[in-house]
Amino acid sequence: MLLRWNSLVSLGDSFTEGMDDPGPGDTYVGWADRLASMIAQQAPDFRYANFAIRGKMLQEIIDEQVPLAISLKPDLVTFCGGGNDIMVPNSDPDALAEVYEVAVADLRASGSDVVIFTGFDTRSTPLLRSLRGKIAIYNSHLWSIAERYHCRMVDLWSMHVLHDRRAWSEDRLHLSPEGHQRVALKTYEVLGLSDAHAWNEPWPALEQADWVTQRKADLKWAREHVVPWIGRTLRGESMGDGMAPKRPELLPLARATDENCVNN
């Protein structure tokens, strides 16, 4: 297969940084790194940068990351943002989409192909179900933007395989390593590099917890993860304050030899 892209820059927040998919030291791997490793198996000189930082709001991604991507002129850009904004009370998905579109227009005008992502369907996540309407509105705008600017779309909303709790880490806000692998495989397919549908392979059977156990787990999750997140939001703090991108330069990514990077 003739590879169309020789360089990739990934932009976004914790989703694209790779939380909670542990890597070497204190770093994370994530779907974007996994995707880059898969592509590099076809092109050993493939170059990759990842500017994503956890906690970033859409405007921060646009102000801090998009200009860097444009300056590097990569063949391919993945751009995902707005999820943290949607979670803020009184946020406006219509206004967010207008901001998002300007960034996509700039990226496309620079000559890069662009991959964008819908928001997840939160129907399986307690306390986040109320956001489904806003996410759906935002997603409808993203589909229109993708069509207007000829972007490829990874439809996370329709990935029913991600409704399994094994796709998510303990905080239920970030994907597990297997969840990240599923998204990497889906993106790989969207790029036309595979038609195996490996991302949609059924999960092994899992015994369901009883109602009381599930409710206890929900309360524990809210206490340990949701309440601290709300506190940070009210204080104007972010998990990514003071952090630098994990892969800030567009450098060659050697052919993957560690099976854990690609297949876990």
For the chain, what are the domain ranges? Answer: 7-200+208-258
Predicted structure pTM score? 0.87
Position 232 scores a pLDDT of: 67
Residue 205 is classified by DSSP as P
Q: Which of 31, 29, 16 is nearest to 183 (CA)?
A: 31
Q: What is the pLDDT of residues 239-264, one digit of tens each?
A: 667 889 999 999 998 643 343 344 44
Q: Which of 5, 23, 109, 14 is nearest to 61 (CA)?
A: 14
CA–chain centroid gap for 231, Å, is: 23
Percent of the chain with pLDDT over 90: 67
Q: Are 169 and 20 in contact, with CB atoms under 8 Å apart?
A: yes
Supply 193's token pair: 């590099």
Class of the CATH-defined domain 7-200+208-258 = alpha beta
Q: What is the pLDDT of residues 153-206, one digit of tens each?
A: 999 999 999 999 899 988 878 999 999 999 999 999 999 998 888 999 999 987
State the average pLDDT for the chain.
89
Percent of the chain with pLDDT over 70: 85
4 pLDDT exceeds 60? yes
209 pLDDT exceeds 70? no
Which stretches of the chain are DSSP H helices?
Answer: 14-17, 30-40, 58-64, 66-72, 83-86, 93-109, 132-148, 177-190, 211-221, 227-235, 259-263
Q: Are 185 and 199 in contact, with CB atoms under 8 Å apart?
A: yes
